[in-house]
Amino acid sequence: MTVSASPTSEATYADALALLRGRPLVVLTGAGLSTDSGIPDYRGPDSPARMPMTYQEFVSGPEAQQRYWARSHLGWGRMKGADPNEGHRALARLDPGLLITQNVDGLHERAGSRSLVALHGRIADVICLGCRTTSPRAALQARLGELNPDFAARHAAVATRPDGDVDLEETAGFVVPGCEQCGGVLKPDVVFFGENVPAPRVERCYAAVDALPEQDGALLVAGSSLTVMSGFRFVRRAARAGTPVVIVNRGTTRGDELASYKLEVGCSEFLTALAA
């Protein structure tokens, strides 16, 4: 049965900490963990509804790819300047058995987390849909800047959106280069909506979650609404096995009814207390 309070009571907060401390953990993180680093999330209580570009739309033709890369060119310039926050650093100190992140910002790695699965990839990498060559996003950013020299200055005031995107409709005329190896279409090496998470990543996460009952462990969710199945399936798997689940997220989540504790508090605050 879910134990929760809104706002979260001191007793619930203390009980959740007591449950997690000293146990082997698998931790699942979402966009809510990176908001303290200045990166907006998709479904937070103060976030307007946003629908990112789907894979099917991206591959539909040059116009969609131009729209994506024009907006991403501006967003990446801002996102790459974000630094890990106290929540990222606390998780690095906790060093769970496995850290599963739905985020593509790479901040967990920069904070020093070691055993990690980036479910949706990393936006710092680019892949060619033709020859499958991967390359650094920084190199593509430089090419985009050279081909569109005044674009960033003309649109400096546009609002930032999640995952290296911005709120911009005026993308006509933006020049998008092809792959330097084969001339093919370049795409960030991340899982778009409409794509599947690579099976080896999912299997590694399932194995870590399945091992928790034998270890008297727990699953901690931090900053995810669990709206998409890519993360929710691990909560459902843990709950089915009787593994305690603690969810820390501002706003309701798809997994609330499966949680032992649901806390309406900030991720950085709670993770810092857990790591203390």
The per-residue pLDDT for 164 is 65
The answer for residues whose C-beta is within 8 angstroms of residue 167's C-beta and 6 or more apart is 158, 159, 160, 161
pLDDT at 152: 84
Note down pLDDT in tens along the chain; length 276 residues. 444 445 678 999 999 999 999 999 999 999 999 999 988 776 544 544 556 789 999 999 999 999 999 989 988 877 788 899 999 999 999 999 999 999 999 999 999 999 999 999 999 999 999 999 999 999 999 999 999 999 888 887 777 776 667 778 888 899 999 999 999 999 999 999 899 999 999 999 999 999 999 999 999 999 999 999 999 999 999 999 999 999 999 999 999 999 999 999 999 999 999 999
**Considering 73, 88, 108, 120, which one is annotated as catalytic?**
120
> Is 250 assigned to a binding site?
yes
84 is in an annotated binding site: no
Instruction: Answer yes or no: is 158 a known binding residue.
Output: no
Structure confidence at residue 2 (pLDDT): 45
Q: Is 43 annotated as a binding residue?
A: yes
Q: Rounded distance, CA 118 to CA 136, Å?
A: 17
**Closest by Cα among 260, 249, 236 to 47:** 249
Residue 31 is assigned to a ligand binding site: yes
The domain spanning residue 78 has which CATH number?
A: 3.40.50.1220
Q: How many domains does the chain have?
A: 1
Q: Can you give the pLDDT at residue 248?
A: 97
Could you tell me the residue range of the domain that residue 70 belongs to?
Answer: 3-275
β-strands 25-29, 218-222: how paired? Answer: parallel
What pLDDT, on the 0 to 100 scale, is given for residue 131? 97
Q: Locate tokens 């789907």: which residue?
A: 54
Catalytic-residue membership of 120: yes
The pTM (predicted TM-score) of the whole model is 0.90
**CA–CA distance, 154 with 113 (Å, rounded to integer):** 38
Predicted local confidence at residue 119, as pLDDT: 97
Q: What is the pLDDT of residue 4?
A: 44
pLDDT confidence of residue 6: 53
**Known binder of ligand: residue 249?**
yes
Q: What is the DSSP string of 20-86?
A: HTTS-EEEEE-GGGTGGGT---SSSTTPPP--PPBHHHHTT-HHHHHHHHHHHHHHHHHHTT----H
- At residue 214, the pLDDT reads 94
Residue at 22: amino acid letter: G
